[in-house]
Structures are given as C-alpha cells and as structure tokens.
C-alpha cells in the first residue's frame, strides 16, 4: 500500500502511477507453464505412439533449428520429481502442463488406454497436489497422434468426435483432482502455422482451405468437450474449463487505419473468440465479408471460409468458464500497397486481409524473430477483450521472454515486471477482472521451429548433461519474490534495457525510483 507521503511525493514526481497499488488483488494466482512435447521426451517409451511432432521433426529436420527434436527434450518423463520441486521452489499456486494424447491413448481412440501413460500423469498430478500446487491441465498442446493426422487431422470434421472421446478419457481419469482444464492451446497459432505457412507439424501449406477448416474444427472440438464436462462431470467435480487463445496486440501505423486494424484483431482474436464468447455467437460478420471478398479475389466461386449451421453456432456459444489469453507481443498494421509481397505468418500477414504487419522501431527485438517487446499491448488487449465479450474472469495463461541463454537475465526480469505492471493497470485503472498470471516457461525446452536455440525458461536446462540439469535463473528468484510478496514492490536488478517509447510508459524506471524514494521518506 502506498503511504500518504508516497502519494504526495508521487504527485510531485509523476502522473498516473501515483495511485497504483503495487500489490495484486487478494486471491490473485500465479503459475508457471510447460507442455508435453516440449519437455517430456521419452517419445517412444513403453506403448506411446508417434505424435505429429515426432513425425515432423524426424522427417523434416531441415525445418527445425539445429535439426532438433523432442526425443529427449528436458526428459521430464524421468525427471518429473525435480520439475515438481522447481515449481514448489517458485512458490506458484498452479502448474500448467499438458497431457500427451499419443502417450495416453496410443491408437488415438479410446479402445486402448496406456497404463504407463495413465500412471505418468497420475504421479505428476498427485505429486503437485501433495505440495499444495494446483494442476492446470491443457488437454491438447499440438501433439496430435500421427495416426489421426493420417486420417486428415484437424481438417477432418470427425476430429471433433475423436477429441470428445479423448476428453471423456481425461476427465474420467483425472477429473477428481484436476479442477481447471484447458481444452486446446492457441488454435490460432496452431492452425496458421500448421496449415497456412506449414512451419509447424504437420507442415501442410493450405492457407485458403486447411487453415479455415482447422479454425472451425478446433472450436467445435473445444465446444463438444466443454459440453461434455458441463453435462456429465461438473456436478461431481466442480471444476472449470475453457480454451486458451493467443493474441497479438495490433495497432494502427497511422491514424485513418483504425478500421483495418480492428479487422486484423477480428481476424485473430475475433475468429477464435466470437463463436464462443460473444452474446450472438458465430463468426465475426466483418470477417465473413472480408474472407468472402478474398476468396473472390483468388478466383473461387464462393467463400472458402466455412459457414456455420444454426446448430453449430448454438453448440459453440457460451462454452467457457473463463477467458484464458496467451500474450507475448504486438504488431503494427497498415493497408498493403499494390504489388507488395507478403511474408509468412506471424511476422507479416497478408493476402487474407490485404494488410501489412510490422513492428514499431522502439520495440526491442528479442532472440525470437517474431517477438518484439511492447508491454502496454497486454493491457490494451485485455481492454479490447472486455469491450467485446464483457468483463469475464480473465487469466493470462502464458507470458514470457525469449533469450539466447545465460543465468543472468535482466531482460526477462524487466519483461515480466513491465507486463505485470500493465496487468495491474488493467485491473486497477480499467477494472478488468484478471485473476491469474502464468509465466511461460518453467524451464528451457523444445521451442518448436527454434529448437533449443530460443530459451524461455525461468530455469536454465543443460541439454548436454544426461540428467538435463536445471538451474534457476535470476528471473526465477525475482518471480519467487513477487509471488511471496503478492506485489511488484520487490527489489530487482537496477539496470535494464532501453525503455520502450510507446504507450503508457512512464515508467518502469520512474516506478522503481518512486518505490526507492517512498522507502527513504
Ligand atoms: C506459444 N508465433 O507458441 C505456445 O503456447 C508455447 O508452446 C510456446 O513455447 C510459446 O508460445 C513461446 O513461443 C507460440 O510465432 C509459438 O507468433 C509461435 C508464435 C506464437 C506463440
């Protein structure tokens, strides 16, 4: 809490920050995340079958930095006890991890459940609960059984029923202990990168058909799983369930381009939220029109963007218990000029909406090519979501920073601090109901096309040591302090990268020095 002197001092020193309480609301929860393919390894142990990522990394090593794969990764299949210990050391309230469908159901179907797979997740869940840590379980984090891919994967309408069977299995096995479920992780990123530019498994390039089918089927699969939980499991287990959407914050390059910027938002946030979270349901109408026009431009006799029946709209509408958002970075938007070449998603966007994406020159670059630092984006995105879908219960299910290594990581600390600061502003100034925050990631892991080159971990992992030794970075100590204090009012390294010049940016420096002054007062 700020004292009276502090408020007076603030009033002299600065503006908006004067009245920001640095503590998080009572009941606000902190967590940390990982996903099965990225950490588990043990790709062919026991009766586990191949996932699309096993298949893709083995057949297309040239598409992944360093020809890397997740065969061993962090070897969490063996080192799960150490993982729990790390999560415990951080003092988080919950650990978000995912279940590997091909580990639990090797055929992809519920005719056969792997005893080994079943026990692995039992041990993990029970081990967390024994330490007072809640498991937040993602049912699908991109590792489809390869056998289902051979039947068309997310482009086959039957995938929604295959997912439903998988959902019934995981709810039956773990629903007594898992109280927060995520059906599907980032369907936007998954559909764009798997079917639009083909950079992720299964590496199919079908931007005009595959991406849209994937869009529709992931949302329907989610909705069926939500309804199953609601009808058959909720009364017994009293848990909550939703999907996680990934969001870039988009802003106009110059005034006059707000409309096209809003369309860009609808094309990513809206296309994956509107059918589920809006009052009327269905696709955003601006997108239906824009994509119909796009199909026409490409010579198709009718729109490629799949329509929804009345039943499908009703099936999807309202299938959430909270809104979970993953947020990392922002883009600037402008209308493309005639003849301009488009790059691939998500660095550039393109033909869909005839727009060009870029990054503001003041947003610092990071070790990941798609990632520029613009903390105010997270606050603006939350406000956008609240405006469109109401003041739901929001959780940040991923937020974190990519570096190229080293235990001393002031840039990551600054990123976490600045994003949490923006979340506090969203809560206190804008009244957005944010109830939880999750750092991606617990430890360095297989970062998809970037292999092991880009590191998101609070814990460093030595991929050359047989035991995949994990060591806390400075950011792990910082996050532990924030959680313990339940406040951003904790010491952190006093040097930091150049502050960004965009948005509400007074700043982090001022904030830090204000706290110092308050303490001196
Ligand atoms: C998310 N992009 O993926 C995933 O949920 C994690 O598995 C992943 O490790 C994390 O973010 C960090 O990348 C993304 O290129 C992958 O825009 C790529 C993009 C966005 C999210």
Which among 38, 185, 246 is the best mutation to test ligand 1's pocket, defined by most ligand atoms within 8 Å of the CB? 246
Ligand 1 atom 18: residue of nearest CA = 189
CA-based nearest residue to 97, from 403, 442, 401: 442
Query: Hey, what are 443's tokens?
Result: 């430890």
Atom of ligand 1 nearest to the CA of 329: 17
Atom of ligand 1 nearest to the CA of 346: 17
CA-based nearest residue to 409, from 439, 446, 448: 439
Burial zone of 209 (CB within 10 Å; 0-12 exposed, 13-18 middle, 19+ buried): middle
Characterize the bridge pairing of strands 134-140 and 180-185.
parallel
For residue 393, give every residue at least 6 positions away whose Cβ sits within 8 Å of its Cβ, in sequence order, or none: 321, 322, 323, 433, 435
Q: How far is CA 212 from CA 192, 284, 291, 392, 465, in A?
A: 9, 14, 10, 27, 42
Atom of ligand 1 nearest to the CA of 244: 5
Atom of ligand 1 nearest to the CA of 441: 9
Residues 48-62 have pLDDT tens digits of 999 999 999 999 999
> Which residue numbers are catalytic?
186, 398
Domain range summary for the chain, segments of one domain joined by +: 1-22+489-521, 23-488
pLDDT number for residue 354: 83
**What is the rounded CA–CA span in Å between residue 407 and residue 403?**
10
Query: Whole-model pTM?
Result: 0.92
Give residue 340's Cα distance to chain centre.
Answer: 31
What is the SS3 assignment for 315? Answer: helix
pLDDT number for residue 19: 53
Taking phi first (over 0 means left), then psi (-120 to 50 degrees means alpha), and beta for anything else, what does residue 320 get? beta
Fold of 23-488: TIM Barrel (3.20.20)
Give me the helix-helix angle, 507-520 and 4-13, nearest 10°: 140
Characterize the bridge pairing of strands 372-373 and 364-365.
antiparallel
pLDDT number for residue 336: 86
Q: How much distance in Å is there from the Cα of 513 to the middle of ligand 1?
A: 34
Q: Going residue by residue through the chain (521 aa), what tens digit of pLDDT does each one get?
A: 343 444 445 544 444 455 568 999 999 999 999 999 999 999 999 999 999 999 999 999 999 999 999 999 999 999 999 999 999 999 999 999 999 999 999 999 999 999 999 999 999 999 999 999 999 999 999 999 999 999 999 999 999 999 999 999 999 999 999 999 999 999 999 999 999 989 999 999 999 899 999 999 999 999 999 999 999 999 999 999 999 999 999 999 999 999 999 999 999 999 999 999 999 999 999 999 999 998 998 899 999 999 999 999 999 999 999 999 999 999 999 998 877 777 777 666 666 788 889 999 999 999 999 999 999 999 999 999 999 999 999 999 999 999 999 999 999 999 999 999 999 999 999 999 999 999 999 999 999 999 999 999 999 999 999 999 999 999 999 999 999 999 999 998 665 554 444 433 333 434 434 443 444 43
CA-based nearest residue to 184, from 215, 152, 208: 215
**What is the rounded CA–CA span in Å between residue 138 and residue 152?**
22
pLDDT number for residue 501: 40
pLDDT number for residue 21: 87
**Main-chain phi, psi angles of 96, to 5 degrees:** -95, 120
Is 14 in contact with 43 (CB distance < 8 Å)?
A: no
Ligand 1 atom 20: residue of nearest CA = 189
Q: How much distance in Å is there from the Cα of 327 to the middle of ligand 1?
A: 9
Name residues contacting ligand 1 (CB within 6 A): 35, 38, 185-186, 189, 246, 326, 346, 370, 398, 440, 447-448, 456
């Amino acid at each position: 809490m700020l004292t009276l002197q502090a408020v007076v001092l603030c009033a002299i020193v600065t503006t908006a920050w004067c009245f920001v309480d640095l503590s998080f609301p009572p009941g606000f929860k902190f967590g940390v995340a990982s996903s099965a393919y990225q950490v588990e390894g043990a790709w062919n142990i026991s009766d586990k079958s191949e996932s699309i990522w096993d298949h893709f990394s083995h057949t297309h090593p040239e598409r992944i930095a360093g020809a890397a794969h997740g065969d061993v990764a962090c070897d969490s299949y063996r080192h799960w006890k150490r993982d729990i210990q790390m999560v415990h050391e951080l003092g988080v309230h919950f650990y978000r991890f995912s279940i590997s469908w091909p580990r639990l159901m090797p055929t992809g179907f519920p005719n056969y459940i792997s005893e080994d797979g079943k026990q692995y997740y039992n041990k993990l869940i029970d081990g967390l609960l024994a330490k007072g840590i809640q498991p937040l379980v993602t049912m699908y984090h991109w590792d489809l059984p390869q056998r289902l891919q051979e039947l068309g994967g997310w482009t086959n309408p039957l995938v929604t029923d295959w997912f439903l069977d998988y959902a019934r299995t995981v709810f039956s096995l773990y629903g007594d202990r898992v109280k927060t479920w995520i059906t599907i992780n980032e369907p936007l990123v998954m559909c764009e990168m798997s079917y639009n530019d083909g950079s992720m498994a299964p590496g199919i390039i079908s931007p005009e058909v595959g991406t849209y089918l994937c869009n529709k089927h992931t949302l329907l699969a989610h909705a069926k799983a939500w309804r199953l939980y609601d009808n058959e499991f909720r009364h017994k287990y009293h848990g909550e369930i939703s999907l996680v959407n990934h969001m870039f914050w988009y802003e106009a390059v110059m005034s006059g381009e707000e409309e096209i910027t809003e369309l860009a938002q609808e094309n990513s946030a809206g296309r994956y939220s509107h059918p589920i979270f809006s009052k009327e349901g269905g696709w955003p109408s601006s997108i239906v029109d824009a994509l119909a026009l796009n199909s026409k431009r490409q010579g198709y006799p009718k729109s490629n963007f799949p329509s929804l029946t009345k039943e499908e709209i009703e099936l999807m509408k309202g299938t959430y218990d909270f809104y979970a958002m993953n947020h990392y970075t922002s883009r600037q938007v402008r209308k493309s000029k005639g003849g301009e070449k488009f790059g691939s998603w998500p660095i550039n966007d393109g033909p869909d909406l005839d727009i060009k994406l870029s990054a503001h020159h003041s947003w610092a670059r990071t070790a990941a090519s798609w990632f520029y630092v613009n903390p105010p984006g997270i606050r603006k995105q939350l406000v956008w979501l609240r405006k469109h879908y109401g003041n739901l219960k929001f959780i940040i299910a991923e937020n974190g920073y990519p570096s190229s290594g080293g235990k001393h990581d002031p840039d990551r600390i600054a990123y976490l601090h600045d994003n949490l600061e923006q979340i506090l502003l969203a809560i206190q100034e804008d009244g957005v109901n944010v109830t939880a925050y999750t750092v991606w990631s617990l430890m360095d892991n297989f970062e998809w096309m970037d292999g092991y080159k880009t590191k998101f971990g609070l814990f460093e992992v030595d991929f050359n040591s047989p035991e995949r030794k994990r060591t806390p970075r400075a950011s792990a100590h910082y996050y532990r302090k924030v959680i313990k204090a339940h406040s951003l009012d904790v010491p952190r390294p006093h040097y930091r990268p150049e502050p960004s010049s965009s948005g509400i940016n007074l700043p982090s420096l001022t904030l830090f020095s204000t706290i110092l002054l308050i303490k001196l007062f």
